[in-house]
Amino acid sequence: MLKQDIRLLTRAQLEAALLEMGQPRFRARQIGDWLWKKSVTSFEEMTDLSKHLRGVLNEKFEIKAVLLDKVQFSADGTVKSRLRLHDGFLIESVLIPVPEDERYTACVSSQVGCSLTCKFCATGKMGRLRNLDPAEIYDQVVLTNRQSMERYGHPLTNIVYMGMGEPLLTYKNVMQSIEWITSPDGLNISPKRITVSTAGIAKMIRKLADDGVKFNLALSLHAADDTKRNEIMPINEHNNLEALVSALDYFYQKTKNRITFEYIAFRNFNDSLQDAANLVKICRKIPARVNIIEYNPIDNAEYEKADDTMIDRFAQHLRDNRVAVTVRKSRGKDIDAACGQLANKQ
């Protein structure tokens, strides 16, 4: 008999299945606590259930847990994990510790590969193989939190959906994973500690607003004019900057949640003072802060990391125009840090 993944059932579906087995309704709450609060990966660990019930559950259901396949440790403390899914696909998650700020961030993936083919990204070269189930996203948070506790004695403080994939193209699964992560019946992490990053899908940004989400939103901008953005991010041809700014303004007006522009600085491409001036114009239209990010080059890349002096000039121009800006140094330079690099390795 083909077993069903128990973590794909809603509470109501689990209750119905248990009633068919002659079990009381409250067993669903017990099992849910084991799955989402305690994050167990086998029925044998559910010790307040009878041995008989555990056996029956094991016959009918399975828990398709995500497994660690390979781990890389950077000299700067970053931990990158390659994870194997039940069907053999590989994904990545990253632990980014900043102990001096008591900040420990999990960067999680939402898809196996990605369909958006951004020219600077290793994941885009894979294509999209499939979406991740909500539980597979949830497992990344659990595993990364465990790594943070083991290495740093500190739980995660933040979660960013900035790994492999475009979160807004697997909207339902991402939203369900966030519900489990933030629920008191799950990991009970504040949504204000979560940021979802998108390459820019205007209609889905508006849907986030209409759904009244509580988490933060980041836009992977990387160029502040349509010509350059079209060149590196083909999605911009159907979601241009005017449409995105309008959608982001709608999101902010509806939610009052923080918006961040992620801006990877590429040498002699988007790092000039004119590029900075174009970015200032966008930032005057909606309340946002800017994260300037050093580029982690990938194999056969067309682009290079901008010079530090150019990044500093760029950032200072933003500050001079009252734009909140942070320059984020590249992490994990001595490992396969760029998104998709480790998953693509044999």
Total residues belonging to the chain = 346
Query: In whole angstroms, what is the distance from residue 156 CA to residue 97 CA?
Result: 9
Domain ranges of the chain: 4-62, 67-328
Helix axes 171-182, 134-152, angle to 10 degrees: 40
Q: According to CATH, what is the number of the domain 67-328?
A: 3.20.20.70
pLDDT at 344: 53
pLDDT tens across 68-85, in order?
999 999 999 999 999 999
Torsion angle (degrees, nearest 10) of CA 119, 329, 91, 63: -150
**Average pLDDT for 229-239:** 96
283 included as an active-site residue: no
Three-class SS string for 231-260?
Answer: HHCHHHHCCCHHHHHHHHHHHHHHHCCCEE
107 included as an active-site residue: no
Which of 107, 118, 121, 339 is catalytic? The answer is 339
pLDDT tens across 288-340, in order?
999 999 998 877 778 999 999 999 999 999 999 999 999 987 777 777 655 54
Q: Which of 203, 287, 277 is nearest to 243 (CA)?
A: 203
pLDDT at 124: 82
Which of 92, 136, 166, 262 is catalytic? The answer is 92
Query: In whole angstroms, what is the distance from residue 29 CA to residue 9 CA?
Result: 13
Query: In whole angstroms, what is the distance from residue 118 CA to residue 231 CA?
Result: 9
Tokens (6 digits) for 209 = 């607003």
pLDDT at 346: 47
The residue type of 51 is K
pLDDT tens across 1-50, in order?
689 999 999 999 999 999 999 999 999 999 999 999 999 999 999 999 99
The CB density around residue 38, as the number of other CB atoms within 10 Å, is: 10
Residue 278's contacts (CB-CB under 8 Å, 6 or more residues apart) are 224, 225
Q: Tell me 164's DSSP state.
A: S
**Average pLDDT for 38-66:** 96
Listed range (5-14, 89-98, 236-245, 334-343) with the worst mean pLDDT: 334-343
The structure's pTM equals: 0.93
Domain 4-62, CATH number (from 1.10.150.530, 3.50.50.60, 3.30.70.270, 3.40.1160.10): 1.10.150.530
The rounded mean pLDDT for the chain is: 93
Query: In whole angstroms, what is the distance from residue 79 CA to residue 151 CA?
Result: 10
Same CATH fold, 67-328 and 4-62? no
Q: How far is CA 8 from the centre of its chain?
A: 20
DSSP codes, 2-38? PPEEGGGS-HHHHHHHHHHTT--TTHHHHHHIIIIIS
Listed range (186-195, 265-274, 326-335) with the worst mean pLDDT: 326-335
Query: In whole angstroms, what is the distance from residue 155 CA to residue 146 CA?
Result: 8
**Average pLDDT for 91-97:** 96
- Cα angle for residues 108, 10, 94 (degrees, 5° grid): 10
pLDDT at 194: 98
Task: Map tokens 């799955």 to a residue.
Answer: 35
